[in-house]
Amino acid sequence: MRAYLGAAFQHPQSLSATPHPRCHNPPHALHPLALMSPFRDALVTVAGRLLVAALPFAVTGFFIWGAAGAWAAIALVLGVAFVYYAVKLGQLLRWLEAPDTAVPDGSGLWGDVLSRLYRLMRQERQAHQQLTDALARFQQAAEAVPDGAVMLDADNRIIWCNATGARDLSIHMAKDRGGLIANIVRQPAFVEALNMQNYREPFSLKGHGAPDQSLSVIIVPFGSDQKLVLARDVTQLEKLDTMRRDFIANVSHELRTPLTVLAGFVETLTRANDGANPVTNKALGHMEAQAARMQHLVDDLLALSRLEDSANPLVEQAINMPELVAALATEAEQLSNGKHQISMRSGDAWVSGNRDELRSALSNLVTNAIRYTPTGGHIDIAWELAGDAPVFRVKDSGEGIAAEHIPRLTERFYRVDRGRSRASGGTGLGLAIVKHVINRHQARLDIESIVGQGSTFSVVFPAARRLPAAAVAANG
């Protein structure tokens, strides 16, 4: 039976659902006795047939030779029946060993048995055919997926992969099937994700196959301890992103010099006019304000380009945060010019990070609080610990932000109220800069806000970045 099914799996086209031509009883027309209890049916049928077959011989034997003759006739009939059933059983066994051959002849009880067996085998063949078709369809679908897919077992050994996975991850199924994937994809990011069970979090793999190739990889657990490694080729996307970044950086850079020249001449003209002509003076005032706005925009774009540049790693130092927070509070007082009530609370923790970047990011939050809080409002600046994590928090009693805007605030040029932002000197890039800086410090930006009541922006640093003041002092 197993041999037969094995053959069916390998040659699905050889399977047929039509009854075997030599099976006299079609599978659906079972003998009526087959509907009764199988053992009792068989017993009754065999006994009945033997009785019917033996009775005429026994009667004839009795009349010719008496009782001895009757017994001899019965023994003869039993002997013939024994040989008949032995032959049939032998045929059945032979057929079961080679089910590809023709079904043995059979009628009556044997016909029922053979018919049932044939039906069972046909159902098995159909089930296997369906499984084979489903597997073939799955493989076709997996091959059609544009991403690379590699299936791993619980020990991270390769079970299967599609053609894209084989190409992008340099897997040769013929020799690598059953091998450890970490022996083939040796990049630390991949091995670490596998070992740390860092699943569902995409990570980047550069130069594994071709030197300039970039893959975005994600490991997805499934079934019982199995994993699917999905790898997407993002080389073109990254090239486009690099081109976009370079373009913005170059344009900003190119604009910087003419803008400085323009602003310089506007200043010179303003001084030369010295208020003599009010119309000219007003026009020059506008030009000066717009030139300053453009300079601000160019500066922010250049700052963003620098933050995005992967060739610009974070240069870290111990930052005296209490001092920095105090400086930010002073800056806030100057900017507010007495229009707000500003309070400041500061713990003594230092952090490890880049001082200039953090100063710029935290200053953006403080500046926004002042710009978006009407005169008379409160602004609270705090440097504190939430558990082990150092947190910088700016709370204002300003206009607040509706919930639907909050997830998009850190996008470039996203503004809740464009006019309001421009009027207060905004570029729409402040929070994008904040996001990049805090990402570089593995920190998190939490925003809570209620329209009409105010907003709280919190930068939560990882506890690992905290440097206790005592330790910093001891190190000099």
Closer to ligand ADP by CB, 264 or 374: give it: 374
Closer to ligand ADP by CB, 252 or 368: give it: 368
Residue of 114, 181, 396, 459 that binds ligand ADP (CB under 6 A): 396
Residue of 431, 437, 443, 445 that binds ligand ADP (CB under 6 A): 431
Closer to ligand ADP by CB, 19 or 428: give it: 428
Residues binding ligand ADP: number (CB under 6 A): 22
Closer to ligand ADP by CB, 107 or 424: give it: 424
Closer to ligand ADP by CB, 149 or 329: give it: 329
48 — alpha (psi -120 to 50), left (phi > 0) or beta?
alpha
Q: Which stretch binds ligand ADP (CB under 6 A): 64-72, 271-279, 301-309, 363-371?
A: 363-371
How far, in Å, CA of 195 to CA of 182, rounded? 10
Closer to ligand ADP by CB, 233 or 399: give it: 399
- Nearest distance, CB of residue 368 and ligand ADP, angstroms: 3
Q: Which stretch binds ligand ADP (CB under 6 A): 12-20, 185-193, 362-370, 438-446?
A: 362-370
- Nearest distance, CB of residue 394 and ligand ADP, angstroms: 7
417 binds ligand ADP (CB under 6 A): yes
Closer to ligand ADP by CB, 265 or 413: give it: 413
115 binds ligand ADP (CB under 6 A): no
Tokens of 304: 């963003």
Q: Which stretch binds ligand ADP (CB under 6 A): 143-151, 240-248, 263-271, 420-428?
A: 420-428
- Nearest distance, CB of residue 293 and ligand ADP, angstroms: 11
380 binds ligand ADP (CB under 6 A): no
Closer to ligand ADP by CB, 266 or 433: give it: 433
Residue of 427, 437, 440, 445 that binds ligand ADP (CB under 6 A): 427
- Nearest distance, CB of residue 431 and ligand ADP, angstroms: 3
- Nearest distance, CB of residue 360 and ligand ADP, angstroms: 12
Closer to ligand ADP by CB, 346 or 410: give it: 410
Q: Which residues 6+ apart lie within 8 Å of 399 measured at CB?
A: 372, 373, 374, 451, 452, 454
416 binds ligand ADP (CB under 6 A): yes
How far, in Å, CA of 443 to CA of 435, rounded? 9
- Nearest distance, CB of residue 405 and ligand ADP, angstroms: 7
363 binds ligand ADP (CB under 6 A): no
Closer to ligand ADP by CB, 354 or 397: give it: 397
Which of 429, 430, 363, 365 is CA-nearest to residue 398? 365
Residue of 25, 214, 336, 368 that binds ligand ADP (CB under 6 A): 368
Residue of 227, 393, 415, 440 that binds ligand ADP (CB under 6 A): 415
Tokens of 35: 């509907």
Residue of 181, 430, 438, 465 that binds ligand ADP (CB under 6 A): 430
Q: Are the CB atoms for 437 and 360 separated by under 8 Å?
A: yes
Residue of 112, 147, 357, 399 that binds ligand ADP (CB under 6 A): 399
Residue of 346, 354, 421, 458 that binds ligand ADP (CB under 6 A): 421
3-class SS letters over the chain? CHHHHHHHHHCHHHCCCCCCCCCCCCCCCCCHHHHCCHHHHHHHHHHHHHHHHHHHHHHHHHHHHCHHHHHHHHHHHHHHHHHHHHHHHHHHHHHHHCCCCCCCCCCHHHHHHHHHHHHHHHHHHHHHHHHHHHHHHHHHHHHHCCCEEEEECCCCEEEEECHHHHHHCCCCHHHHCCCEHHHCCCCHHHHHHHHCCCCCCCEEEECCCCCCCEEEEEEEEECCCEEEEEEEECHHHHHHHHHHHHHHHHHHHHHHHHHHHHHHHHHHHHHHHCCCCHHHHHHHHHHHHHHHHHHHHHHHHHHHHHHHCCCCCCCCEEECHHHHHHHHHHHHHHHHCCCCEEEEEECCCEEEECHHHHHHHHHHHHHHHHHCCCCCCEEEEEEEEECCEEEEEEEECCCCCCHHHHHHCCCCCCCCCHHHHHHCCCCCCHHHHHHHHHHHCCCEEEEEEECCCEEEEEEECCHHHEECHHHHHHCC
Closer to ligand ADP by CB, 228 or 431: give it: 431
335 binds ligand ADP (CB under 6 A): no
Q: Are the CB atoms for 407 and 401 separated by under 8 Å?
A: no
Closer to ligand ADP by CB, 61 or 430: give it: 430
Query: Which residues of the chain form contacts with ligand ADP (CB under 6 A)?
Result: 364, 368-369, 372, 396, 398-399, 401, 409, 414-417, 421, 426-432, 455
